[in-house]
Amino acid sequence: MLFTWCLLFLCLQQAGAALEMTGPTSHTAMVGQEAHIPCTFTDDTFAFDPAHFGVIWYFQGSNILNFVNSTTKANPRYSLNQNQALTGTADLMISDMSISDVGIYQCVVVYSPVRLVMDITVDIQAPPQITITGTTVTISNDSVLRSSISGFYPEKIDIKWLRDGEILDNVIVEKPQRLPDGTYSVTSSVTVTPTEEDRGRTFSCRVQHESLTQPLQEDFTLVCPDKEESSTNVVVIAVPVVCVVAVIIAAGAVGIYLYCKKSGQQTGEDRRETHTADRAVIYEGVKQEEKAERSERMLQDCKDVDVKTTRKNFENKAKKKKRRKEKEHCQVN
């Protein structure tokens, strides 16, 4: 029994000594690209058993990938090469890196009963892009050249303006602004007073950033129109404008004339229609008055008839009453 425990203890010591993790503790990835976060180990045991082996990856303390019993469970963005993991390379692969992927990753290699852990700090870089504006200037007048540098990460950036390779003064660099995707943008400008000699010179905006292996430089030449050329351009532009305005005015005048003419025609027609309508209203009014007069005469006739009838009935009653009294008087005598 004692021999068995001693043998097991020696085996565990041998396994612990045989399994060893290697690799860098930091890694830099580029935005939009696939990242391979390294995690390697060595195993000197003569018989490696996959059933007792596993790899677990964490990001900021949260489990993001498990490789146990030759089976991988992970978010679709995370993966590893299973065959390489069994031979000592358990690199974590992340697709489409973004600023939110910056942080501490933890690689855990388990070969039962041994468990080894290694932390890897991942940084992200994004290269800048330069856009130049304001290259049209006037000779002997102060002019401002501007550039917009965007899409870079981290924030620190160095910007210079040059004329034929010589660094210019009077440079302004505004405070970088954070973009929705986590990268930065910044605007820079330089004030120059162009001379005739500057017409053929090369001006440049040079940017240095840690994502670049060498400075990024955008070259351009100034656009310096002559005064005569400017006057000619004004005339060339003004003539078509005047012609267009004249055509618009003429078209407007014709339109107003046609509208007035049409309105006049419609006014005459409206007057005739109104006159006809007035005559119809007057005729209808006369008819109504005649009808009212007839009704009034009929009503008066009815009243006359009623008066005559009432008077006749009263006279008849009076006669009957008189005859009745005479008859009664005769009977008394």
Q: What is the mean pLDDT of residues 11-18?
A: 47
The 3-state DSSP class for residue 92 equals strand
- Rounded Cα distance, 105 and 297, in Å: 116
18-125 and 129-224: same fold? yes
Pick the closest to residue 105 from 18, 37, 175 (CA basis).
37
List the beta bridge partners of residue 65. Answer: 57, 74
User: Mean pLDDT over residues 234-259, rounded?
Assistant: 61
| Neighbour count for residue 262 (Cβ, 10 Å) | 10
CATH class of 18-125: mainly beta
* Cβ count near 289 (within 10 Å): 10
Looking at residue 32, its pLDDT comes to 94
Q: What is the pLDDT of residue 30?
A: 96
Question: Per DSSP, which regions of the chain are E strands?
Answer: 19-22, 26-30, 35-37, 40-43, 53-59, 62-68, 71-74, 78-79, 92-94, 103-111, 114-125, 129-133, 143-152, 158-163, 166-167, 171-173, 177-178, 184-192, 203-208, 216-220
Residue whose C-alpha is closest to residue 12's, from 103, 109, 115: 115
Least confident of 7-21, 42-56, 88-102: 7-21
Q: Which residue has the higher pLDDT, 212 or 70?
A: 212
Q: Show the tokens assigned to 216.
A: 């990024």
Between 226 and 146, the higher pLDDT residue: 146
Domain locations in the chain as residue ranges: 18-125, 129-224, 230-326
Model pLDDT for residues 201-237, shown as the tens digit of each residue: 999 999 999 999 999 999 999 998 876 544 444 444 5
Residue pLDDT, tens place only, 284-320: 665 676 777 776 776 676 556 555 666 677 677 777 7
Q: What is the mean pLDDT of the chain?
A: 80
Give the pLDDT band (50/70/90) at residue 9.
very low
Q: Which two tokens stand for residue 51?
A: 């059933």
Given a contact cutoff of 8 angstroms between Cβ atoms, the answer to whether 159 and 206 are in contact is yes
State yes or no: pLDDT of 184 exceeds 60.
Answer: yes
Burial of 17 (0-12, 13-18, 19+ CB in 10 A): exposed
pLDDT over threshold 60, residue 132: yes
Confidence at residue 194, expressed as pLDDT on a 0 to 100 scale: 92
Whole-number Å distance between alpha carbons of 163 and 323 = 150
With a CB cutoff of 8 Å and minimum separation 6, the contacts of 145 are 132, 134, 135, 137, 161, 189, 190, 191, 192, 203
Task: Please give the average per-residue pLDDT across 161-181, as a whole number.
Answer: 95
CATH topology of domain 129-224: Immunoglobulin-like (2.60.40)
Tell me what pLDDT residue 153 has. Answer: 97
Alpha carbons 203 and 332: distance in angstroms, whole number: 158
Cα–Cα separations (whole angstroms), residue 297 to 93, 110, 304, 305, 311: 114, 126, 11, 12, 21
